[in-house]
Amino acid sequence: MTQSALTVLQDVFGFSSFRAGQAEIIDSLIDGHDSLVLMPTGGGKSLCYQIPALVREGTGIVVSPLIALMRDQVEALKACGVQAEVLNSSLSQAQQQTVERDLAEGRLDLLYIAPERIMQSRTLALLQRCALSLFAIDEAHCVSQWGHDFRPEYLKLGELAERFPDVPRIALTATADTRTRDEISRALFNQTQKLFVASFDRPNIHYRVAARNNARRQLLDFIQSVHPNDSGIVYCLSRKRVEQVSQWLVDAGFNALPYHAGLSAEQRQQHQDRFIREEGLIIVATIAFGMGIDKPDVRFVAHLDLPRSIESYYQETGRAGRDGQAANAWMIYGLEDVYRLRQLLADSDRSEALQQQDRQRLEALLGYCEQVECRRPALLGYFGESYEGNCGHCDNCHNPPELNDATEEAQKALSCIYRTGQRFGAAHIVQVLLGKRSERIESLGHDQLSTFGIGRNQPKTYWHALLRQLLAQGLLAVDPDGYGGLRLDPSCRPLLRDQASFAMRQDAGVSHSRSPKKASAKQHIAPEHQALFDQLRALRLELAREQSVPPYVIFHDATLKAMAEAQPETLQDMANIHGIGQHKLDQYGEAFLDLLIETAARQ
């Protein structure tokens, strides 16, 4: 590692050493090589281009898809003493002219800009008159039509190589399977770049998936028992559900806000700003929320509905614990989720090739949900990374689920679906299996079928769980007529002919006797340091409000935790704490040191 890069890391950002993989990437970019970097959220991707931009001559140009993300990163850089700016539609005409003048005169270390603006002829002409150190293309998965967040304007960014052949480029993303990374490579680099793939494992995140039976009660139990005072994100499918859950959390005594496309742009911005700048606030949102969020202390991400793919799930859960501290990814799902997603695929007007990829993505996610062993091999294996298992930080490792032979019950369910005509939904099938008479069942003659009542030996919840797992394993399909009827998939024939068996995962209860927080990675803060940590957070919040910046721009929780544990007595001692560079030491050091000394004197 070049000494200049290590000096920048220590003096500007306050870190004593590089994380795994960072040094090699930074060296490559400083030497002028193009790179594609796959690194998980919270793994330190930003430093991989920020440090080379400070070491190399000229201004580093960062292509970023969202205004909020640009703003947050620029605020954090300025707090470290870096000359950084944004150039986007949020600026007035006069502000834009000032930024362009500073760029032309070489006053900027880094400039953040949207993909739509950078490819405008006027912007390209401006850049060609400037000294540029590098191009960084963030959220590079947006270039791929196979990916989970395709942005067509990203496809034009490959032209930067032709216009600026001597300026190295780096593209970065936190989620990309093999198909997605290949398309990024072709579109942006013509497959000539170096490829750096870091581990996708987030060891600080505890993963938990459970069957949904009372969503609101389950969510409330989880938050009250594990995260009563923490910031978190709750994802829901629909706007209506977002509003209902948000209001319900408020009524339960939590500080919660909704976020969805039905709100005005002003409301969405207000809610997002509050989430970034306040502590202990919960955002209930559709998937429209999150990609532009750089908040490091999100302690949990909860899904009340199933995402469309493992990529989406990984991206959304990755918004928790970006500071490396313990966090939870909690999800509940049910039979209706499988219905809905399979029906969406059947109704899609996408090409057959894209639909096939979508089906494979859904199958991978359903397999992950019904996993009976450690969850990490299935999750990381999707991204081409092997993992032996027994992570100790997922629900299956802490409380292994029971797996029971359900061959006979599965045959009963499949037979009932076949004999009722393969056009009825799960609720009707379960009623027939349980022998429940109704006007509809009698009018259809389903009370006369041999399968009527053959499932009385099991409760209603059992049959719904069984049908869910049959769907998840592809033995059942959703009728493409749009009414959600179940039909047999040809793959179920061996099971019906006694040529195969079926093992059923027993759904875990909703008890939190083994708290995910206790089962997760290290505790956030030791009990003996909690009071001091809370005082340091209060001071940070006070300073943040005075300066109108998010609290984490001043110091991350991890830095305050280290401060509470080390209790430095001098500024020189404080300079050795993780995350305190020279600029922050000069700006905030005395205020925090005074608090530490005053607290120590009272003890």
Average pLDDT over residues 379-391: 89
Find, among 508, 473, 463, the residue nearest to 212 by Cα.
508
Predicted confidence at residue 569, as pLDDT, reads 92
Predicted confidence at residue 483, as pLDDT, reads 63
Using left for φ > 0, alpha for ψ between -120 and 50, and beta otherwise, residue 191 falls in left
Predicted confidence at residue 148, as pLDDT, reads 56
Side-chain half-sphere CA neighbours of 465 within 13 A: 22
Task: With cut-offs at 50, 70 and 90, classify the pLDDT of residue 51.
Answer: very high
Q: What percent of the chain has pLDDT over 70?
A: 94
The DSSP secondary-structure symbol of 141 reads G
d(CA 37, CA 48) in angstroms, rounded, equals 9
The DSSP secondary-structure symbol of 394 reads B
d(CA 565, CA 150) in angstroms, rounded, equals 44
Task: With cut-offs at 50, 70 and 90, classify the pLDDT of residue 95.
Answer: very high
Q: 123-158: string of b/e by CB count within 10 Å (b at 16+)?
A: beeebeebebbbbbbbbbbbbbbbbbbeeebbbebb
Cα three-residue angle 553-555-561, rounded to 5 degrees: 150
Task: With cut-offs at 50, 70 and 90, classify the pLDDT of residue 524.
Answer: low
Average pLDDT over residues 239-263: 93
d(CA 496, CA 469) in angstroms, rounded, equals 16
Task: Return the structure tokens found at 229.
Answer: 């005072």
Percent of residues in the chain assigned helix, strand, coil, to nearest 5: 50, 10, 40
Average pLDDT over residues 81-105: 93
Average pLDDT over residues 523-543: 87
Of 174-183, 367-376, 414-423, give the lowest mean pLDDT range. 174-183
Q: For residue 341, what are the contacts with CB-CB under 8 A and spacing of at least 6?
A: 306, 308, 362
Predicted confidence at residue 132, as pLDDT, reads 97
Q: Which run of H or E residues covers position 128?
A: helix 121-128
Task: Return the structure tokens found at 175.
Answer: 């989620």
Model confidence pLDDT, tens digit, residues 356-366? 777 778 888 88
Predicted confidence at residue 207, as pLDDT, reads 97
Model confidence pLDDT, tens digit, residues 182-228? 889 998 998 789 999 988 899 999 999 999 989 999 999 999 999 99
Would you say residue 432 has pLDDT above 60?
yes
Alpha helices by DSSP H, 236-390: 239-251, 265-277, 310-317, 335-347, 352-369, 375-381
Q: How many CB atoms lie within 10 A of CB 350?
A: 12
The DSSP secondary-structure symbol of 356 reads H
Predicted confidence at residue 584, as pLDDT, reads 94
Average pLDDT over residues 280-303: 83
In the beta sheet, which residues pair with residue 136?
62, 170
Average pLDDT over residues 512-538: 66
Task: With cut-offs at 50, 70 and 90, classify the pLDDT of residue 291.
Answer: low
DSSP letters, 266-280, are HHHHHHHHHHHHSSS
Average pLDDT over residues 299-326: 90
SS3 of 88, please?
Answer: coil
Cα three-residue angle 129-51-570, rounded to 5 degrees: 130
d(CA 99, CA 108) in angstroms, rounded, equals 9
Predicted confidence at residue 289, as pLDDT, reads 65
Amino acid at 130: C
d(CA 215, CA 230) in angstroms, rounded, equals 20
DSSP letters, 419-433, are HTTS---HHHHHHHH
Average pLDDT over residues 524-542: 89
Model confidence pLDDT, tens digit, residues 534-580? 999 999 999 999 998 889 899 998 899 999 999 999 999 999 999 99
Average pLDDT over residues 166-186: 87
Model confidence pLDDT, tens digit, residues 510-519? 333 333 444 3
> Is the Cα dihedral 390, 394, 398, 403 positive or negative?
negative
Using left for φ > 0, alpha for ψ between -120 and 50, and beta otherwise, residue 362 falls in alpha
Cα three-residue angle 476-481-487, rounded to 5 degrees: 20
> Is the Cα dihedral 21, 27, 30, 34 positive or negative?
negative
Predicted confidence at residue 293, as pLDDT, reads 67
Q: 410-419: string of b/e by CB count within 10 Å (b at 16+)?
A: bbbbbbbbee
The pTM for the full model equals 0.80
Would you say residue 287 has pLDDT above 80?
no
Predicted confidence at residue 288, as pLDDT, reads 58
Domains for the chain: give ranges and CATH numbers.
3-197 (3.40.50.300), 205-398 (3.40.50.300), 403-505 (1.10.10.10), 527-602 (1.10.150.80)
Find, among 531, 595, 597, 529, the residue nearest to 562 by Cα.
529
Q: What are phi and psi of 56, to 5 degrees?
A: -80, 160
Strands 476-478, 486-488: pairing kind: antiparallel
In whole numbers, what is the pLDDT of the chain averaged over residues?
88
Model confidence pLDDT, tens digit, residues 121-160? 999 999 999 999 999 999 888 887 655 567 778 889 999 9
N-terminal to C-terminal alpha carbon distance within the chain: 44
Task: With cut-offs at 50, 70 and 90, classify the pLDDT of residue 502.
Answer: very high
Average pLDDT over residues 467-494: 84
Task: Return the structure tokens found at 216.
Answer: 């609101």
| Number of helices (H), then strands (E), in the chain | 28, 17
Amino acid at 123: T
Predicted confidence at residue 522, as pLDDT, reads 39
